[in-house]
């Protein structure tokens, strides 16, 4: 079994060296921690699937340090993409482009003629990529299907002994993964909602953005992560609680006190004395930052069989938050 090392920011060159040797290094972004491998090394990429237990037809995001690195695989970028990069890169926007034939391994693309690219806002990770000299695949650094990691400790919990190391830059600031925008189709299409909203993208492009194409059929190959398989799910059943259902939900939780975990705002938690709670903060921004950490908190408690979590309006960041929460819950809502 591998010894998994926690690398500090001052050790970024050592972490980059491991990547050039074909090893797996988890890295921080502003959204969640990613599991890095040299995107041009097919054997290293295949080890990512093995480490995560991830289906091999689920394509991987290619994480880059600059837009110039993207051009090595796509050629010249369309004007619309350049506008979006000017506005949102580095940041939580991933874009899907057609790529040059054979420029990236099939293990990265899922056999498609496109690939998804992202330049994260985290400076340490951009330095890591620059030091390695190659783009990195960057799926979330967790066991496949489980809540995404927002700290180095989450990564270590899931992948100790399976990867060479984790580059630790503290907790992530956004907490839900990047928006994925398909720029390879006639009309820009959101494949996964995230911190950059369809409205923000449309304002830059001056055209409508399709935003309801988040799933594919069982026999289709997805263009981006999160479109086909169950994601973000702890062992317990998550139940989504609408704002007007909290009185009933808390009464039910009191009757099942030992087996229910409550993720909620301080206002709700104040009405649940003696119950097992996790503070998500007062609004959808903090709830998004802490959603995965909260799911992981209760996932470590074998006695918890149900997790109550708050619904938010599906607008702006709320669309990304509810997308992740619905997947964690299997779309199950609390019913009084």
Mean pLDDT of 132-141: 96
For residue 108, what are its two tokens?
A: 């990265």
For residue 92, what are its two tokens?
A: 């939580």
Task: Look at residue 322 in the predicted model and tell me its pLDDT.
Answer: 96
What percent of the chain is modeled with pLDDT above 90?
88
Residue 221 has pLDDT above 60, yes or no: no
Residue 325 has pLDDT above 70, yes or no: yes
Whether 4 contacts 156, CB under 8 Å = yes
CA distance linking residue 169 with residue 334, whole number of Å: 36
β-strand pairing of 306-310 with 260-264: parallel
C-alpha distances out from residue 208 to 78, 138, 188, 204, 211, Å: 17, 29, 8, 10, 9
Task: Look at residue 148 in the predicted model and tell me its pLDDT.
Answer: 95
Query: Known binder of ligand: residue 54?
Result: yes
DSSP tag of 149: P
For residue 120, what are its two tokens?
A: 């994260």
Task: Look at residue 88 in the predicted model and tell me its pLDDT.
Answer: 98
Task: Please tell me the total number of residues recorded for the chain in this structure.
Answer: 336
What pLDDT, in 10s, does the model give residues 155-206? 999 999 999 999 999 999 999 999 999 999 889 999 999 999 999 999 999 9
Q: In a 10 Å sphere around its CB, with 0-12 CB exposed, 13-18 middle and 19+ buried, how is residue 51 labelled?
A: buried
Task: Look at residue 59 in the predicted model and tell me its pLDDT.
Answer: 87
Task: Look at residue 217 in the predicted model and tell me its pLDDT.
Answer: 52
pLDDT classification of 229: cutoffs 50, 70, 90: very low
Tokens 């690219």 correspond to what residue? 117
Query: Known binder of ligand: residue 122?
Result: no
DSSP code per residue over 52-89:
HT--TTS--EEE-SSHHHHHHHH-SPPHHHHHHHHHH-
Query: Known binder of ligand: residue 148?
Result: yes
Residue 137 has pLDDT above 70, yes or no: yes
C-alpha distances out from residue 22 to 7, 121, 259, Å: 17, 24, 43
Domains of the chain: 5-205 (3.90.870.10), 237-329 (3.40.50.11030)
pLDDT classification of 213: cutoffs 50, 70, 90: low
Query: Known binder of ligand: residue 271?
Result: no
Residue 103 has pLDDT above 70, yes or no: yes
Angle, CA of 214, 261 and 242, to the nearest 5° = 50
Query: Known binder of ligand: residue 259?
Result: no
Q: Which tops the pLDDT comparison, 145 or 188?
A: 188
Whether 120 contacts 194, CB under 8 Å = no
What pLDDT, in 10s, does the model give residues 252-290? 999 998 999 999 999 999 999 999 999 999 999 999 999
> Which residues, other chains included, contact 317 with Cβ-Cβ below 8 Å and sequence gap of 6+?
176, 195, 197, 284, 285, 288
What pLDDT, in 10s, does the model give residues 8-59? 999 999 999 999 999 999 999 999 999 999 999 999 999 999 999 877 767 8
Average pLDDT taken over every residue of the chain: 93
Query: Known binder of ligand: residue 151?
Result: no
Query: Known binder of ligand: residue 118?
Result: yes
Query: Known binder of ligand: residue 162?
Result: no
Query: Known binder of ligand: residue 31?
Result: yes
Cα within 13 Å of Cα(280), Cβ side: 28
Mean pLDDT of 222-243: 76
Residue 106 has pLDDT above 70, yes or no: yes
CA distance linking residue 65 with residue 117, whole number of Å: 10
Query: Known binder of ligand: residue 143?
Result: no
Task: Look at residue 145 in the predicted model and tell me its pLDDT.
Answer: 83
């Amino acid at each position: 079994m591998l010894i998994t090392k926690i690398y500090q920011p001052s050790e970024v060159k050592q972490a980059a060296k491991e990547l050039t040797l074909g090893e797996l290094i988890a890295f921080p972004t502003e959204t969640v921690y990613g599991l890095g491998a040299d995107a041009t090394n097919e054997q290293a990429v295949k080890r990512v699937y093995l480490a995560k237990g991830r289906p091999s037809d689920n394509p991987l995001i290619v994480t880059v340090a600059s837009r110039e690195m993207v051009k090595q695989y796509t050629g010249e970028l369309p004007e619309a993409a350049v506008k979006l990069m000017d506005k949102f890169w580095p940041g939580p926007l991933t874009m899907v482009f057609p790529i040059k034939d054979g420029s990236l391994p099939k293990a990265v693309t899922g056999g498609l003629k496109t690939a998804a690219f992202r330049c994260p806002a985290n400076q340490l990770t951009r330095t890591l990529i620059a030091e390695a000299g190659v783009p990195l695949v960057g799926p979330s650094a967790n066991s496949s299907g489980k809540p995404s990691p927002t700290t180095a400790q989450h990564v270590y919990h899931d992948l100790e002994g399976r990867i060479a190391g984790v580059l630790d830059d503290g907790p992530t600031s956004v907490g839900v993964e990047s928006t994925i925008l398909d720029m390879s189709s006639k009309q820009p299409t959101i494949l996964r909602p995230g911190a950059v909203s369809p409205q923000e993208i449309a304002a830059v492009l001056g055209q409508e953005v399709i935003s309801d194409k988040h799933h594919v059929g069982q026999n289709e190959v997805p263009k981006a992560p999160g479109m086909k398989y169950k994601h973000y799910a702890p062992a317990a059943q998550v139940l989504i609680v609408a704002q007007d259902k909290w009185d009933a939900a808390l009464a039910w939780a009191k009757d099942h006190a030992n087996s229910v975990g409550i993720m909620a705002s301080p206002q709700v938690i104040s009405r649940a004395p003696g119950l097992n709670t996790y503070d998500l903060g007062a609004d959808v921004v903090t709830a998004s930052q802490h959603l995965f950490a909260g799911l992981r908190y209760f996932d470590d408690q074998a006695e918890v069989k149900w997790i109550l979590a708050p619904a938010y309006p599906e607008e702006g960041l709320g669309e990304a938050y509810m997308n992740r929460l619905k997947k964690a819950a299997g779309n199950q809502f609390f019913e009084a």
